Each structure stands twice: as structure tokens, then as C-alpha cells.
């Protein structure tokens, strides 16, 4: 049951992001704003998440290593 709920959560987050980007594109008067919002909003966000996730994981790993070193010395 958990994977289905996770999929529904991901679909709702993706649809919300696409809709919000479509609204922004509509305010600027672009043609087919919701189509462009779904395409570019998700694409740009997806491209931005990978570097952020990589930076966060390395920073968290560094902090965990520092914490382990501190704990072993204490």
C-alpha cells in the first residue's frame, strides 16, 4: 500500500508544480501556458533537484563523518 500512496503523492506534487508554473506563464501571456508550464516547469525543477540533492547528500555525509569522529574521540 505504501508504494501506491508514494506514487499518488509524487503525482500530486508534479501536477501542482506544473499548474503553478502554468499560472505564471499565463500571467506573462505566453501561448499554451499550461502545456508550457507542464513541460518547462517540471523539466527545470527536475534539472535543479539533482545538483541540490547531490550537494545535500555530500554535506550530510560530511557532517555524519564529523559527528562519528567527535563521538569516537569523546
pLDDT values of the chain reduced to their tens digit, one per residue, 74 residues = 567 777 888 888 888 889 999 999 999 999 999 999 888 888 888 788 777 666 656 655 665 555 455 555 55
37: how many CB neighbours lie within 10 A of its CB?
21
CA–CA dist 59, 57 (Å, integer): 5
SS3 track for the chain: CHHHHHHHHHHHHHHHHHHHHHHHHHHCCCCCHHHHHHHHHHHHHHHHHHHHHHHHHHHHHHHHHHHHHHHHHC
- pTM higher than 0.85: no
**Best CA proximity match to 33, nearest among 43, 42, 45, 24:** 24
Amino acid at each position: 500500500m505504501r508504494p501506491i500512496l508514494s506514487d499518488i503523492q509524487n503525482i500530486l506534487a508534479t501536477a501542482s508544480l506544473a499548474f503553478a508554473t502554468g499560472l505564471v506563464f499565463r500571467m506573462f501571456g505566453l501561448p499554451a501556458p499550461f502545456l508550457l508550464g507542464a513541460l518547462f516547469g517540471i523539466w527545470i525543477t527536475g534539472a535543479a533537484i539533482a545538483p541540490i540533492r547531490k550537494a545535500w547528500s555530500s554535506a550530510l555525509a560530511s557532517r555524519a563523518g564529523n559527528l562519528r569522529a567527535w563521538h569516537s574521540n569523546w
